[in-house]
Amino acid sequence: MEDETTSQSSGMTSRSESPFDAAEGSVAAPSSPRTSVYSYASSVDKHLVLRELHGRIVNNTNDKYVLPADGEEHGRLDVQHEMLKAALGGLYVRQAAPAVRRALAFRKDGDPNAILDIGTGSGCWVVDMAKQYPHAEAVGMDLAPPNFISPPPDNTRFECDDANHGLSQYFPESFDVVHSRCITIGVTDYRSLLEQAYNVLRPGGVLLTVDCDMLAYDENQEPILAMNEDEPKRNPKANAYLNTSKWIKEMGENNCPWEEFGERAVWVPLGPWTKELEGDRVNRREFIAAQLMQEDFLNMGDTVRPLLLASGNPAETVDRWIREQKDEVSGMKAKLYFKWICNWAVKKK
């Protein structure tokens, strides 16, 4: 990371729009090469895609993934996105950067380059990739539509679909980059999804995955607690991300050959508490990453509140837990790290 100094806040703002309150129409940009598959605010369709759960909007098609899909949650995901950009030094790990640039170079056959983001959430990664590669078509797929506060770039489109149903709606070898971030919580067969992602990648295409470990780590980077003890009961395969590297390797040894693949663990402190981030001169990106990790986690209590209430916990107990969690996080009373696991693989030509 670059050696820069900073003492400023990120200045991130959250979204407040709800899909239930939005004006009718598709969020696909008017000149997108293909139209979006949904008109998310229509009075006919909105309750097919979305439902209300304890005051928050969640998807209505996948009972494994029950975190909110409203403007408030997408605002938190925007913060998380900016945190990862700071921690990784960009939109993906630097080790994968040369392969991504090669994959997204202008094609000699004249076909447009294409990017797929599985579980796009707020759509921020797709939007940033579309801006960075304006000649490519960037597609975001998720259970629920994003909540944009401004129109996305013309070379984007967003589709409502469940990755558990596969990727057969896309032609084989039609994408140059396939990306996913923190989706295993809602995926029943992640190994199969990795194989399907391989199938839709063009030769030389790049698979990118990013996952946050469901453990918190102490100041010595030793695991200390499970982040969500109820999640394995809801989806026993929620921690499938721990096998991503192994499965990619096994795929390469069988019928899915890779030119290269790798894994990198990125450690981000929960707030700028480390000695390296104290004082007048600190690494600017590391400081921002730590600060945004704190802001992201500060809002996690509100994110999981509907799930905790739906599990039968009394509202007053849940709200007390959230208050205590926010107090601990804002005051950095616990010196914690979070580990982000990044995998990349390049499909053999």
pLDDT at 236: 65
* pLDDT tens column, 245-257: 999 999 999 999 9
Provide the CB-side half-sphere exposure for 152 (13 A, CA): 29
Q: Which pLDDT does position 234 carry in this prediction?
A: 53
Say if residue 92 is exposed, middle or buried (CB neighbours under 10 Å; 0-12, 13-18, 19+): buried
Please work out, in degrees rounded to the nearest 5, the angle formed at the alpha carbon of residue 29 by the alpha carbons of 23 and 31: 135
One-letter identity of residue 52:
E
Long-range Cβ contact pairs of 35-42 (< 8 A, separation 24 or more): 35/157, 36/157, 36/158, 36/159, 37/159, 37/160, 37/161, 38/145, 38/158, 38/159, 38/160, 40/144, 40/145, 40/160
Please give the C-alpha separations between residue 45 and each of 18, 39, 56, 152, 157, in angstroms, as whole numbers. Answer: 15, 7, 18, 22, 18
Mean pLDDT of 260-276: 92
Give the pTM. 0.86
Nearest to 179 by CA among 135, 232, 121: 121
Give the model confidence (pLDDT) of 38-47 as tens digits: 434 444 466 7
| pLDDT cut 90: percent of the chain above it | 69
Residue 195 has pLDDT above 90, yes or no: yes
The pLDDT value recorded for residue 226 is 56
Q: Measured over all CA atoms, what is the biggest interatomic distance in the chain, rounded to whole angstroms?
A: 62
Distance of CA 150 to the CA centre of its chain: 20
Q: CA-based angle 224:287:98, to the nearest 5?
A: 95
pLDDT in tens, 73-119: 999 999 999 999 999 999 999 999 999 999 999 998 889 999 999 99
Q: Kindly report, residue by residue over 310-329, the tens digit of the pLDDT.
A: 999 999 999 999 999 999 99
Q: What is the mean pLDDT of the chain?
A: 85
- pLDDT of 8 higher than 80: no
Residue 253 to residue 249: CA distance in whole angstroms:
6
- Least confident span in 27-31, 155-159, 332-336: 27-31
**The pLDDT of residue 63:** 84
Q: Given this model, what pLDDT does residue 46 score?
A: 65
Lowest mean pLDDT among 63-67, 211-215, 311-315, 343-347: 63-67
